[in-house]
Amino acid sequence: MSLTLYLHPLSSYCHKVLIALYENGTPFETVQVNLGDPQSASAFKAIWPVGKFPVLRDGASGRVVPESTGIIEYLALHHPGPVKLIPERPEAALEVRALDRFFDLHVHTHMQRIIGERLRPAESKDPYGLEQAKTALSVALTLAEKKMAGRTWAAGEEFSMADCAAAPPLFYSTSRSNRSPVPIRTSPPISAG
Ligand SMILES: N[C@@H](CCC(=O)N[C@@H](CS)C(=O)NCC(=O)O)C(=O)O
């Protein structure tokens, strides 16, 4: 098996890459990273000193690919499957890449910030930063709602990397069942999962 994904099972950015792998039935194995365990953390940082997952290692090429978008681009190029994660038509590819950036930077980032606030120790809470993140997330969700209205998938009629980027933060932002930390609302409200 040439592909190894370094991940944590609760990591939403890892979910983004897992969606791409599963969608194409791409064979891979996993290494679970536990940053709380010094041995696991240092083994992982020897591969990717930044210490953020997911990271993909391709045993066939010896290549280490960090960053969820970079990993999906790498998979699309070197391990393509029946589902085109990046469309061939340049204009369609542009839309997919633009939405991938949108969901990472304007939805995922704020969702992480809001969930991260729950994990902070009481003496390190940042209510001002939390409010800023909630507002920014609400703006982004309203935009996403408008952009995706009438589309089957995030970027149009085909599944793509944009859906891999959209699904994890939308799930964590809107799911009641996982006790979303804040009731984020768009106008009109998007349906909660
Ligand atoms: N831009 C990165 C973000 C990755 C990221 O934020 N990963 C989180 C988990 S979802 C992480 O590694 N957190 C551990 C830490 O920051 O110590 C990507 O797209 O892969």
- For the chain, the DSSP string reads --EEEEE-TT-HHHHHHHHHHHHTT---EEEE--TTSHHHHHHHHHH-TT--S-EEEETTTTEEEESHHHHHHHHHHHS--SS-SS-SSHHHHHHHHHHHHHIIIIIIHHHHHHHHHHHS-GGG--HHHHHHHHHHHHHHHHHHHHHHTT-SBTTBSS--HHHHHHHHHHHHHH-TTTT-SS----SSPPPP-
Q: Ligand 1 pocket: which of 13, 34, 173 to mutate (most atoms <8 Å of CB)?
A: 13
Residue with CA nearest ligand 1 atom 5: 52
List the domains of the chain with CATH numbers. Answer: 3-78 (3.40.30.10), 90-174 (1.20.1050.10)
Residue with CA nearest ligand 1 atom 13: 52
Residue 149 amino acid letter:
A
**Which tokens go with 13?**
């950015």
pLDDT of residue 186: 44
pLDDT of residue 175: 60
pLDDT of residue 190: 37
Mean pLDDT per 10-residue run, the chain (193 residues)?
Answer: 94 98 98 98 98 98 98 98 98 98 98 94 96 97 94 97 97 64 42 31
pLDDT of residue 12: 97
Residue with CA nearest ligand 1 atom 17: 52
Give the distance, in angstroms, between the CA of residue 38 and the centroid of all CA atoms in the same chain: 25
Q: Taking the CB of residue 79, how many other CB atoms lie within 10 A of it?
A: 18
Map tokens 């980027």 to a residue.
165
* pLDDT single digits (tens) 34-57: 999 999 999 999 999 999 999 999
Q: Is the beta carbon of 163 within 6 A of some atom in ligand 1? A: no
Residue 122 amino acid letter:
A
Q: Is the beta carbon of 53 within 6 A of some atom in ligand 1? A: yes
Span from the CA of 109 to the centroid of ligand 1 (angstroms) = 10
d(CA 57, CA 29): 10
Q: Is the beta carbon of 102 within 6 A of some atom in ligand 1? A: no
d(CA 21, CA 81): 9
Give the distance, in angstroms, between the CA of residue 192 and the centroid of all CA atoms in the same chain: 19
pTM of the model: 0.91
Atom of ligand 1 minimally distant from the CA of 11: 10
Q: Is the beta carbon of 52 within 6 A of some atom in ligand 1? A: yes
pLDDT of residue 137: 97
pLDDT of residue 188: 42
